[in-house]
Structure 1
Amino acid sequence: MAARKVLTRAESQARTRDELIEAAEILFYANGYFATSLAAIAAEAGRTIGAVYSNFESKEALCLEVLRGWGNSSLSRLVTAIAAGDGTLDQRRDAISSWWATEMANNRAPMILAAEYAISVIRDPGQRDITIEAVERIVESGRALFLEHLPEGADVTGPLVDSAVRGVLSTGVGLAVGHVAGVMEIDKSVEVLTATMEFWLDRLGAAVREVGRPTD
């Protein structure tokens, strides 16, 4: 019989951290952010409250890790969907539309959690700054995807591209909130997101044409 591997301290801590995040995800999604305590998360993971505080300084920090995991998984699904196509602009737009519809249909719980988390950190400057950093990383991921759709010759470092990326992402956030609030149907959400992307791509294309226009 093979001897059981003894985990190093770092491996043991990483496993504990992962188990706490998994337990937090289960309880946050089932009961909501405000109704879930750190003690309940510790019990769900079979750990002590001390183990929670040795890995996360607060409930907000733990919740942010849950949301980070969901966001990364969601973006990974989008990248996979785009990569599976033929690379044409129409295919990428179809992949994004299909991905968005699927996310809206299947991820109501994490979207509600994200809204609850945002409310919880409004009056916490420290955690709000950490959240802003996390959001900026999402913006950069969104920028990388958006750049693939830009018209040839577009200035990828210009302020108009930054406005386009933030405009599309902000629209997505608003549509997600509208969906979980029950005021935005999925089909309409897809329509609005697609129209927003088309608007910015057309505007960027117009900017490219303007730059290339001969002067008198």
Structure 2
Amino acid sequence: MPARVKRLSRTESVAQTRTRLLDAAEEVFAEHGFGATTLERIAERAGYTRGAVYANFASKDDLFLAVLDRWLDDDIEHGGRINAESPSVRDAFDRLRELPGNRFADRNRFLLLTEFRLYALRNPEVAPRLAEYERRGIAWYTDAIRARAADLPVPAEQLAAIVLAMENGIATLAHVAPDTVRHDAFVDALEMLTGLR
């Protein structure tokens, strides 16, 4: 008698559909950019109808922001591991140097985020949702700074915002002028900022 295939619960089925849609969205957004991507293309890539997309996401903006949130969740998890497994700030910097650059060194990811930032600046109804994503990044950096530094010349939130701005600026320059600015220059900047160089 053939083994019975376990049926997914409703919750598991919804989670699986959402994951497949997010996976497909990452691929299609990377191939076509935010503006040129359609929900139909994403649904087709995931093997669903457009209705399945709307059952999980209110709009293309909503789906893209969910992709950004997933990327940030992964960054936070990975960064947390580095922080927890590094006995000192110097060790953490050494581990960061082993990576292929900062979080935005991936060209597709960088282009998508840049395109969506411009889109949000032109669409006031989207801007607050993107601002929430940026606040999450600052909060993550704030927690990491507080975990490593007791005596700061400025509030941790202010320093975290500076670090995030520096990371984005270095990524921009490294993509535009890679012969002049390397992606791992972000770690150089962190070392100079902390005085560990």
- Structure 1 length-normalised TM: 0.77
Cα 1:189–1:144, aligned 2, differ >3 Å: closer, same or farther? same
Cα 1:97–1:30, aligned 2, differ >3 Å: closer, same or farther? same
Residues 168 and 193 of structure 1 are in contact (CA less than 8 Å); yes or no, is this contact kept in structure 2? no
Partners of 1:91 and 1:125 lie apart in 2 by 42
Name the structure 2 match of 1:51.
52
Partners of 2:114 and 2:146 lie apart in 1 by 28
Q: Percent identity?
A: 26
What is the deviation of 1:66? Answer: 1.2
What is the deviation of 1:31? Answer: 2.0
Question: Over aligned residue pairs, what C-alpha RMSD do you find?
Answer: 2.5
What is the deviation of 1:179? Answer: 2.6
Task: State whether structure 2 residue 174 is matched by structure 1 residue 179.
Answer: yes
Name the structure 1 match of 2:163.
168
Residues 23 and 41 of structure 1 are in contact (CA less than 8 Å); yes or no, is this contact kept in structure 2? yes
Residues 101 and 187 of structure 1 are in contact (CA less than 8 Å); yes or no, is this contact kept in structure 2? no
Post-superposition CA distance 1:27-63 (Å, at most 9, x none): 1112221221111001111111111111111111111
Q: Name the amino acid aligned to 2:24.
A: A
Query: Which ranges in structure 1 are unaligned for 5 or more consecutive residues?
Result: 203-216
Partners of 2:148 and 2:192 lie apart in 1 by 10
Equivalent in 187, 190, 207 of residue 184 of structure 2: 190
Name the structure 2 match of 1:129.
128
Pairing 1:22-33 to 2, within 5 Å after superposition: 22-33=23-34
What is the deviation of 1:192? Answer: 5.0
Larger radius of gyration: 1
Query: Which ranges in structure 2 are unaligned for 5 or more consecutive residues?
Result: none
Cα 1:93–1:197, aligned 2, differ >3 Å: closer, same or farther? same
**Number of residue equivalences:** 194
- Structure 2 length-normalised TM: 0.84
Partners of 1:28 and 1:186 lie apart in 2 by 29
Cα 1:191–1:102, aligned 2, differ >3 Å: closer, same or farther? closer
What is the deviation of 1:184? Answer: 4.1
What is the deviation of 1:114? Answer: 0.8
